[in-house]
Structure 1
Amino acid sequence: MISARSHVEEIAHVALGKGSLRDAPVVQSWLRCLNDYRLDPAQAQEAYIVPSTQLKEHREQSDELIRIGRSAVEGLFRHVMDQHYVLLLSDARGVTVDFMGDPTFDNQLRRAGLYLGSEWSENRAGTCAVGACIVSGDPVIIHQDDHFDSSHIGLTCTAAPIFDTLGDLTAVLDISQLRSPTVKASQHLALHLVTTTARRIELANLMARTRHDWILRISRSPDFLDVDPEAAIAIDANGRISGLTHGGFRALARMFEPQPGAARGVIGTPISQLFDIDVDDLPRFTRSRADRERVIRTRSGVMLFAGAIAPVTRTRGLPAADRIPRPLRELSFGDAAMEAVQLRASKLAPRDVPILIQGETGAGKEFLARAIHDIRPNPGRFVAVNCAAIPEALIESELFGYASGAFTGAAPRGKIGLIEAADGGTLFLDEIGDMPIGLQARLLRVLSEGEITPVGAHRPKPVSFRLISASHHRLDQLVADGRFRRDLFFRLNAATLMLPALRERQDLDGLVDHLLARIGADEGRTIRLSHTARMALRRHPWPGNLRELANTLRVAAALADGSEITPDDLPETLRNPAEPATAVASASDDLAAELAACGGNVSELARRLGVDRSTIHRRLRRLKRS
């Protein structure tokens, strides 16, 4: 880092047209500061924080983007906070509308302008990452004395632009340090992280603002298609493009119109004019098909991989997603099917109607039941009964209780049953399909009469409760098989909520990050997931659903040596997924072909597939033995 005097002299040399070893974006910004903004490098300016009333206006205008990008921004900050970075989300005018940093350094950060409300527009602050990014529209590193103003030459700042669905720059994401290593190349990883996060925010923004349109994610490789695509396009019901991520604009601009900004004209263009598909073909590209089978071609013949996400079904009268009560909101992180369940549950929760929750074991039926219970202003007790776990000989006395002296060994004062314990609250009957058919008649009477008679008692007791039941069995099928009473089924089935299996959901990454945050909070530490470990989680079919996922992450966190979970901390079944015997021959050919495409370089193949080199060697040995 040079002195303030030599810094001014260098800028003066650049103003005279003399050569410079600085990166081109830095030189271009210096010239703008001198020629367009008439800034004087010899006059150091203090960082500017906008007044609180003005900041409020900026934040209100950016509120939707802040909310949409919150998960991605928090994930980025968890990755860089240990290196003493601060994170700034600025609007298109350079005002910081969201901020994350170590509160220990609040005073220093505020003086440096790395704070909420700071303005980093280029015409006010001179050359800086946020300002240069706003002008150029490209990611940039402004390192130490790259800054125009000498008061900022101790900082290193890395920023990436965020574009809206119509191709206009709407925000800038920046991570900065008060002090840093002297080599600018040390910030290349920071540039990768901030650029990747900006791309994820653009995708989340596109999905949020075009909820009722198809989303087509596009990549040149199938490996990261469903989690980190290079581009995404929104397509309306008429098959016309309604929005894109910036990667989509750039890709279409390269394919069709080389002029800057011309890609904006593709809004409203039929997708069939650009690719060899129509809107009716989109269901073929959902996750129900293997990644490598989802191939599309541009009209010029370029082959790409595509993944489609179906639109959220419009339902009249349902509340907006951002008005879903908090207990329900935490059950989904962007999955369309789960959001439909949330919307339906939010309507049913205030009503006194029985609810039946259907879904596979471990899919989160009890979590959903508790969320519905918690929404009520005075919910009372939540009493959960697993009908499959109570021995048949005891289930009647457990549910209905018993009177004093009802049977040998009974408690002298009798016992309150679980149904009576739920009086004034919610009774959750889990795995109701496993209840003995003889006991179903007694439960039906309770629901019909609103009273219970404990075992050995002679007088009934009035009870009033909210009933939620759940089963992994299809109750209508049990009724058809004669294993469940039809009249009880209709009592329980006033409203049904169908939970999707985890393998069918689109929000695995969000769920993983949410669970890791909860585990970290419980253990008082930050827990991260390595890229290869995350890829292993994505490949797993999750037969145990959310319960299996939560247990896997908690055990992995306990086994991890530091703050990062690696593949070695995961169960063997996730590190080495079983391969069907019928697929061994084709798998051998595929792996050999992919290895050949990498020039025989195992390390390169491992990077492409998102696995460790040891995994590639292990697969090759196993296929040779087959």
Structure 2
Amino acid sequence: MISIDSHVKEIERVAAGEQSLRDRPVVQSWLRCVNDYKRDPANAQDAYIVPNAKLREHQEQAESLIRISRAGLAALFDQIAADDYVLLLSDSSGVAVDYLGNPRLDRELRRAGLYLGADWSETRAGTSAVGACLVSREPVVIHQDDHFDPTHTPLTCTAAPIFDTRGALAAVLDISQLSSPIAKTSQRLALHLAKATARRIEMANLVARTGDEWVLSLSRTPDFLDTAPDAAISLDASGNITGLTFGGLEALGRSMGFGDGNPQTLIGQPISSLFDIGIDELPYFMRGNPAGERLLHANGEPLLFASAMSPADTPKPAVAVPRGPKTDALAAMSHGDTAMRLLQAKAAKLAARQIPILVQGETGSGKEVLARAIHESSNEGGRFVAVNCAAIPEHLIESELFGYVPNAFTGASRKGKTGLIESAAGGTLFLDEIGDMPLALQTRLLRVLSENEIVPVGGLEPKKVELRLVSATHRDLKTLVAEGVFREDLYYRLNAATLSLPPLRAREDFDGLLDRLMDDLGQRYGQSYRLDSTARRLLRVYAWPGNLREMQNALEVASALTDDGVIRERHLPDAIRQPISAESDLLVQLEQCNGNVSALARRLGVDRSTVHRRLKRCRQQATRH
């Protein structure tokens, strides 16, 4: 990274017309900053975060997109959090309306502007990934001294645009780090992840807005057609294009050579103007027919693979459910595991009463699945409302949970808003990751449990609510109580009854679970799948730190990669193909480490407890043989 003086002089040379080795988006942004915004590169300015009232206005306007994108952002953050990356979702004005970052770095991130409410528009912050992306409408990496303002030159930032269903730029997804000691090329993976997640959000937004229309997904190959298509369009009953995933369709059209280069011009056009197909032929492209046969033609030539999703069915009137014992949902969770049988019996009894239940278990072990099963087994009707306390920004969680009265604050809806707790009245409220709930909100939740009533933000009159509360966490709440970050009285309110889910590696019914997931895949994709003996053995010995969720993802990808329905070793993720504990050679590796378990754990990239557990299994198998 060059000095501030050299940085300023370089910008001045570029502004004077000299050639530069910088990327084109960087040079163009520098020129805009100097010529259009009259900014001085020597005048360093601190990052700007908008006031809370102004932030709420931006968030209110972007509320739908924030909600739709939240799952995609959380999945992306899981992949990059270990490297101290930060995620910002900025609206079309450049203001960060959602944020995921490491709380340990909270102070530094806020000072650097990698924080909720930060304004990264070019007019405010100069050249940045968000600002340049807003102007160019293209993915961009702004690395270190690519930034215009010297204040931001330690940062590395990567951004991708998110378009609405009509092709207008709706938001920007930004992946940033406080510093990166390595070259700009190191951000290629971040750029790929940003673009892929932006397209996922566009897809989710399209599907969310087309309940009564056809959705036609498009892909270059059949392999990921039904799970991760390249683009999608929505069609009305007459076969006219009503919406699209702009970013994905633009890239697809550019690489495949169809369309006129601007997907926005397709809005309102009949599908027959793009492909050799009419609205009546869409059912052929629905799941059930082999993906490899769902091939779209244009001008008589094969072009793309397609998957059609029909309009949502007309909602059926609610039907009263007869009361009585119902344990099918709970029974489906186990295939013979002793611990799970005991848990099922306990959960079935608890489901008959509105007793607060705390579900504990590792990440991915099925806590929400258990909560839904308890709800279904209660036969009390009402909604199941799930809230991830770790995914909702702290400043939004109060209004999300409790709602607010009309005009409760600047930017609030004139109609007010019903909170998630009130939405769950008569049903079940599931609070996932309860250990991440802010202390101030814990006090208000305690009132809900003790008095069965809520007071919306800005309101005075309490509202009565009767509901079942199921909360879940993978953290030790007792430890959080001792640390003073979780209320002791709330802890004892929540765990009137506790259900502890065993981790996948400890379950006796592993093969039964594996076979059930294989059957589910077959039913979903209309194809029979099976595991060869090597793949099944590798799945058995893997430690599964992500539990059932990780296994579902692994099988989903493996089933997409197989050509004949047989999942083999080569189709499995690298972490499973090279297991940490192939029992046949673990003892040999321990000898190579001179019997040092810590050294073996470092070699395998796992913790010592995992190695001890695998060694114990090795010795048990040796004894049996």
Bucket of the pairwise TM-score, normalised by the shorter protein: 0.5 to 0.7
Q: Which residue type is aligned with residue 36 of structure 1?
A: D
Once residues 313 and 225 of structure 2 are traced to their aligned partners in structure 1, the CA distance between those partners, rounded to angstroms, is: 24
Match for residue 43 of structure 2? 43
1:545–1:154 CA distance, 2 compared to 1 (3 A): same
Equivalents in 2 of 1:255, 1:569: separation in Å? Answer: 33
Q: For 1:220 and 1:539, how far apart are their aligned partners in 2?
A: 27
Please tell me the residue identity of whatever aligns with 1:248. L
Answer yes or no: is the 8 Å Cα contact 2:164–2:245 preserved in 1: yes
Matched residue SS, 1:218: strand
Q: Secondary structure at the match of 1:44?
A: coil
User: Residues 395-406 of structure 1: matches in 2 within 5 Å?
Assistant: none
Superposition deviation, residue 115 in structure 1? 0.5
Contact kept in structure 1, 2:163 and 2:169, CA below 8 Å: yes
Q: Does residue 309 of structure 2 align to residue 309 of structure 1?
A: yes
**Change in 2 beyond 3 A, CA 1:316/1:524:** closer
CA drift at 1:280: 1.8
2:23 aligns with 23
Query: Is 1:86–2:86 an aligned residue pair?
Result: yes
CA contact (8 A) 1:362 1:544 kept: no
2:217, 2:148 → 1: CA distance? 40
2:113 maps to: 113
| 3-state secondary structure, aligned to 2:234 | strand
The AA in structure 1 aligned to 2:249 is G
Which deviations, in whole Å up to 9, do the C-alpha atoms of 1:60-106 show, x marking residues without a partner? Answer: 11111111111110000010000001110000100000001111111
SS at match of 1:542: helix
In the TM superposition, 1:329-478 aligns within 5 A as 347-348=318-319, 362=332, 379=354, 426=378
Q: Deviations over 1:333-386 (max 9, x none)?
A: xxxxxxxxxxxxxx457x66679999998489x999x9999999x74799xxxx
Q: Is the 8 A contact 1:292 1:305 kept in 2?
A: yes
Partner of 1:560: 543
Partner of 1:398 in structure 2? none
Separation of aligned partners in 1, 2:515 and 2:11: 51
Q: By how many angstroms is 1:182 displaced?
A: 2.8
Q: 1:481-501 CA distances to partner (integer Å, 9 max, x unpaired)?
A: xxxxxxxxxxxxxxxxxxxxx
2:71 is matched with which residue? 71
Structure 2 CA distance, aligned partners of 1:275 and 1:120? 40
Q: Which deviates more from structure 2 when the two are superposed, residues 227-236 or residues 141-150?
A: 227-236
Cα distance in structure 2, aligned partners of 1:74 and 1:577: 25
Q: 1:258 aligns with which of 260, 282, 290?
A: 260
Q: CA, structure 1 residues 170+3, in 2 after alignment: closer, same or farther (shift >3 Å)? A: same
Residue 581 of structure 2: aligned partner: none
- Which residue of structure 2 aligns with residue 462 of structure 1? none
Match of 1:174 in 2: 174
How far apart, in 2, do the equivalents of 1:21 and 1:312 lie? 52
Q: 1:181 Cα shift?
A: 2.4
The CA deviation at 1:312 is 1.2
Partner of 1:152: 152
Q: Secondary structure at the match of 1:98?
A: strand
1:248 equivalent in alignment to 2:226: no
SS of residue matched to 1:205: helix
Q: Paired residue for 2:231?
A: 231
* Change in CA separation of 1:238 and 1:5 when aligned onto 2, cut-off 3 Å: same
Tell me the equivalent position of 1:342. none
Which residue in the other structure is 1:418 paired with? none
CA–CA distance in 2 between the matches of 1:274 and 1:95? 37
Structure 1 equivalent of residue 364 of structure 2: none
AA aligned opposite 1:559: Y
Distance, in Å, in 2 between the alignment partners of 1:277 and 1:360 is 45
- Where does the alignment leave 5 or more consecutive residues of structure 2 unmatched? 335-340, 358-373, 381-425, 427-471, 477-499, 506-513, 530-534, 578-625
* In structure 1, distance between residues paired with 2:10 and 2:562: 62
In structure 2, C-alpha distance between the alignment counterparts of 1:562 and 1:381, rounded to whole Å: 28
Pairwise CA distance, 1:149: 0.2
1:183 equivalenced with 2:183 (yes/no): yes
- Per-residue CA distance 1:543-570 (angstroms, 9 max, x = gap): 7999x9xxx99x9698338779999997
In 1, Cα distance between equivalents of 2:327 and 2:278:
36
How far has the Cα of 1:316 moved from its partner? 6.7
Partner SS for 1:19: coil
Q: Distance in 2 between matches of 1:70 and 1:310?
A: 25
Report if aligned partners of 1:166, 1:267 keep a CA contact under 8 Å in 2: yes
Contact (CA 8 Å) 1:220, 1:304: kept in 2 or not? yes
Q: Which residue type is aligned with residue 294 of structure 1?
A: R
Q: Say which SS state the counterpart of residue 307 (structure 2) adopts.
A: strand
What SS is found at the alignment partner of 2:277?
coil
Shift of 1:229: 1.1
Amino acid at match of 1:30: W
Query: What one-letter code is carried by the residue in structure 1 that aligns with 2:10?
Result: E
Match runs of 1:264-303 below 5 Å: 264-299=264-299, 301-303=301-303
Q: Which amino acid aligns with 1:116?
A: L
Superimposed CA distance per residue, residues 504-532 of structure 1 (whole angstroms, 9 cap, x where no aligned partner): xxxxxxxxxxxxx987998999x9xxxxx
Q: Please say if 1:137 is aligned against 2:137.
A: yes
Residue identity opposite 2:53 in structure 1 = T
**Any conservation in 1 of the 2:554–2:572 contact (CA below 8 Å)?**
no
Residue number in structure 2 paired with 1:14:
14
Describe the shift of the 1:540–1:286 C-alpha distance in structure 2 as closer, same or farther (beyond 3 A): farther
Aligned-residue identity in percent: 46
Work out whether residues 540 and 574 of structure 1, in 8 Å CA contact, stay in contact via their aligned partners in 2. no
Alpha-carbon spacing, 1:381–1:518, altered in 2? closer, same or farther (3 Å): closer
Paired residue secondary structure (1:31): helix
Structure 1: distance between partners of 2:137 and 2:350: 46
Amino acid in structure 1 at the alignment position of 2:543: A
The answer to whether the Cα contact below 8 Å between 1:140 and 1:158 also exists between their aligned partners in 2 is yes
Q: Is the Cα–Cα contact under 8 Å of residues 96 and 117 in structure 2 kept in the other structure? A: yes
8 Å Cα contact 1:218/1:306 also seen in 2: yes
Distance 2:550 2:87 in 1: 26
Q: Secondary structure at the match of 1:171?
A: strand
Taking the aligned partners of 1:179 and 1:524, their CA distance within structure 2 comes to: 40
Asked whether the equivalents of residues 26 and 142 of structure 1 are also in contact (C-alpha less than 8 Å), the reply is yes
Q: Is the 8 A contact 1:241 1:271 kept in 2?
A: yes
**Alignment partners' CA distance in 1, 2:210 and 2:294:** 22
Worse-superposed segment, 45-54 or 269-278: 269-278
The 1:272–1:19 alpha-carbon spacing in structure 2 relative to 1, beyond 3 Å, is same
- Cα distance change of structure 1 residues 360 and 380 upon mapping to structure 2, 3 Å threshold: closer
SS of residue matched to 2:314: coil
Q: In 1, Cα distance between the equivalents of 2:562 and 2:125? A: 57
Which residue, 520, 543, 565 being the options, matches 1:542? 520
Q: Which amino acid aligns with 2:260?
A: P
What code does the residue aligned with 1:189 have?
A: L
Give 2:104's aligned residue: 104
User: 1:128 corresponds to which residue?
Assistant: 128
Which structure 2 residues correspond to residues 214-229 of structure 1 after superposition, within 5 A?
Answer: 214-229=214-229
Answer whether contact 1:249 1:264 (CA < 8 A) is retained.
no
* Matches of 2:48 and 2:354, distance apart in 1: 49
Aligned length: 415
Pair 1:211–1:576, CA change in 2 (3 A): closer
CA contact (8 A) 2:259 2:274 kept: no
Find the residue that maps to 1:223 and give its secondary structure: coil
Give the whole-Å Cα distance in 1 for the aligned partners of 2:558 and 2:322: 43
Go from structure 1 to structure 2 and tell me whether the alpha carbon gap of 1:101 and 1:40 turns closer, same or farther (over 3 Å shift): same
Give the conservation status (yes or no) of the 8 Å contact 1:159–1:173: yes
How far, CA to CA, are the matches of 1:211 and 1:30 in structure 2?
44
Q: CA deviation at 1:5?
A: 0.8
Cα gap change, 1:375/1:154 in structure 2, threshold over 3 Å: closer, same or farther? Answer: farther
